[in-house]
C-alpha cells in the first residue's frame, strides 16, 4: 500500500486501531479468508511502515473479536468472518420505513427528556407551539447502532406518551388516526463521530457515521416530528429505486 504511513499519520486515532480497522476490512471483503495465514509481521511492518508493536497490537484487537489467532511458531491466521447481517435498510418512503420499524424491536436507552425547541431550516415548516424532546440510544442485543434526538409536537406526544417512550416513533405516528402526515422528507449526510456519539455507540472518534434528518409535516405545514439520527457507518445500507 503506497504511502500507507501518511494515511495513518493523518488521523488522530492510535495507529494500531487504524491498522486493526484496515485488517478488519480485508477480512470482511474476503481479501484474507477464514483459515488463511496473514503475511508475516515483517511484511506487514514494511507494507504499512509501522513498528512491530503496532502490528501486534492491531492483531490483538482482532484476536479479541475472534477474527484472528496468533499461533507461536506458525504465524497469524484468520479464524472468523465479519458479520454481515447488521446493516439497517433506510427506505425512501415513510410508509415503508414505518413497516420496517414496526417489526424491529430495538432496546431503547433514554439519555435525556425535556421540553425543547428544534432548529428548523427556513423551508422545513412551521414550528408547533411546543415540543417534547427525547434523546436515546437504540441497540440490538447489547450492540448500539444509533443515537437519536426526537422532537415531537407536544399535542401529538400526549396522544400516546407511553408508546412514544417505549417504541420507535414512526410506526406510532402512522398509527394515530388523529395525526395526518401531509409531507415527509429525509436527508442523509456522511460524517464522522464526535466524542459524545463515539462514546454512546462504542466506536472510535472520527469513525464514519450517517446523519439522517427526518421531518414530518401536517396538512397545515406544521412540523409534528423531527428526528435527528446518527447511525454507525457499518450498520447502514441505503437502497433506492431508480426510475428509468
Alpha-carbon gap, residue 200 to 189, rounded angstroms: 19
CA angle, residues 215, 220, 221, in degrees to nearest 5: 30
- Calculate the CA 228 to chain-centre distance: 12
**More confident: 227 or 106:** 227
Q: Is the pLDDT of residue 22 over 90?
A: no
2 has a pLDDT exceeding 60: no
Q: How far apart are CA 134 and CA 114, in angstroms?
A: 7
DSSP for residue 40: P
> What pTM does this model have?
0.69
Task: Name the pLDDT band for 7 (thresholds 50, 70, 90).
Answer: low
Q: How confident is the model at residue 181 (pLDDT cuts 50, 70, 90)?
A: very high
- Indicate the average pLDDT of the chain: 85
Average pLDDT over residues 13-25: 82
DSSP-derived pairing of the beta strands 222-232 and 208-217:
antiparallel
What pLDDT, on a 0 to 100 scale, did the predictor assign at position 83?
61
CB 111 within 8 A of CB 135: yes
C-alpha–C-alpha distance, residues 223 and 122, integer Å: 12
What's the pLDDT tens digit per position in 63-102?
988 889 988 889 999 988 766 555 555 656 777 777 767 7
Q: Higher-confidence residue: 89 or 171?
A: 171
Q: Which domains does the chain have, with CATH numbers?
A: 4-78 (1.10.10.10), 88-238 (3.40.1410.10)
pLDDT 10s digits, 107-159: 999 999 998 889 898 889 999 999 999 999 999 878 899 999 999 999 999 99
| pLDDT recorded at residue 53 | 94
Amino acid at each position: 500500500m503506497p504511502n500507507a504511513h501518511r494515511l495513518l499519520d493523518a488521523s488522530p486515532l492510535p495507529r494500531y486501531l487504524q491498522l486493526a480497522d484496515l485488517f478488519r476490512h480485508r477480512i470482511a471483503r474476503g481479501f484474507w479468508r477464514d483459515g488463511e495465514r496473514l503475511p508475516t509481521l515483517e511484511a506487514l511492518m514494511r507494507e504499512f511502515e509501522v513498528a512491530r508493536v503496532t502490528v501486534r497490537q492491531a492483531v490483538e484487537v482482532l484476536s479479541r473479536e475472534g477474527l484472528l489467532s496468533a499461533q507461536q511458531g506458525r504465524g497469524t491466521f484468520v479464524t472468523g468472518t465479519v458479520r454481515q447481517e447488521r446493516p439497517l435498510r433506510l427506505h425512501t418512503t415513510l410508509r415503508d420505513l414505518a413497516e420496517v420499524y414496526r417489526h424491529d424491536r430495538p432496546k431503547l436507552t433514554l439519555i435525556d427528556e425535556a421540553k425543547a425547541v428544534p432548529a428548523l431550516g427556513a423551508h422545513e415548516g412551521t414550528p408547533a407551539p411546543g415540543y417534547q424532546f427525547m434523546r436515546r440510544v437504540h441497540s440490538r442485543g447489547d450492540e448500539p447502532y444509533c443515537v437519536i434526538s426526537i422532537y415531537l409536537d407536544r399535542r401529538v406526544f400526549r396522544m400516546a406518551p407511553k408508546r412514544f417512550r417505549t417504541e420507535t416513533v414512526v410506526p406510532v405516528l402512522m398509527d394515530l388516526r388523529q395525526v395526518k402526515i401531509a409531507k415527509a422528507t429525509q436527508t442523509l449526510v456522511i460524517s464522522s463521530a464526535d466524542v459524545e456519539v463515539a462514546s454512546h455507540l462504542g466506536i472510535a472518534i472520527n469513525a464514519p457515521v450517517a446523519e439522517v434528518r427526518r421531518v414530518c409535516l401536517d396538512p397545515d405545514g406544521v412540523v409534528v416530528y423531527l428526528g435527528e439520527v446518527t447511525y454507525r457507518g457499518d450498520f447502514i445500507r441505503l437502497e433506492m429505486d431508480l426510475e428509468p
